[in-house]
Amino acid sequence: MTTMLFGHEHLASPEIAHSVRLRLLDGPLELAWKHSGMTSDFIAEMMAPRFRPSKRLYNQLRQDIGYLANELIENAIKFRSRGEVVVEALAQAGCFRLSVTNLVDRETAARFQKLLATVTSGDPGELLIQQIEASAMATTSNASGLGLLTLMSDYEVQFAWLFEDRDEHEPTKIQTYAAMAVRLS
């Protein structure tokens, strides 16, 4: 088995202890993007009340948590090769943590690793501006990384990605870890 890690190593842990775990199963209902929105709204509704010092802050946190969860779950559903998507969420003192796990084919994993090598190598704010400009100039819609760069730049989310290849004939397992600081004032 080979593994490759991108991002903040301290975030990559096998399991978030005491977290809420949701498994989105691939089956007769066909796991689709609409499940991303419903799941992220559910996570935001469950996690935001733990940070409820004021109604304004609660609403902002619910929106921020929902945006982060939606972006990661949507990507996992969109790019997965088959199987379930596992989502783990945890509200800690001053921090919201999220983990999303799914399988992708080898080609998708290689493209994503190439993107992550760029995304994790520079200043997220500068990379976001460069990607927005590149997307505006492109004749085709290739906005790769905009969501991640927005989360890193505007929301100061820290990420780690762990890629695991078990067998050359099997899909690659990707675990995406995110941590977002929660300002209580």
Cα–Cα nearest to 107, from 172, 177, 162: 172
- Given a contact cutoff of 8 angstroms between Cβ atoms, the answer to whether 163 and 173 are in contact is yes
The rounded percent of the chain whose pLDDT value lies above 90 is 49
* Least-confidence region, from 6-15, 16-25, 131-140: 131-140
**What rounded mean pLDDT belongs to the chain?**
87
Range of the domain at 142: 2-11+19-181
Helix (H) or strand (E) holding 4: strand 2-7
Say what the pLDDT of residue 50 is: 76
Residue count of the chain: 185
Question: Taken in order 114, 177, 11, 13, is the CA torsion positive or negative?
Answer: negative
**102: confidence class by pLDDT, cuts 50, 70, 90:** very high
Tens of pLDDT, residues 29-59: 566 767 788 899 999 999 888 777 778 888 8
The rounded percent of the chain whose pLDDT value lies above 70 is 90
Task: Please enumerate in sequence order all residues whose Cβ is within 8 A of that of 85, keeping only pairs 6 or more positions apart, or say none.
Answer: 23, 24, 31, 73, 76, 77, 100, 101, 102
Q: What domain count does the chain have?
A: 1
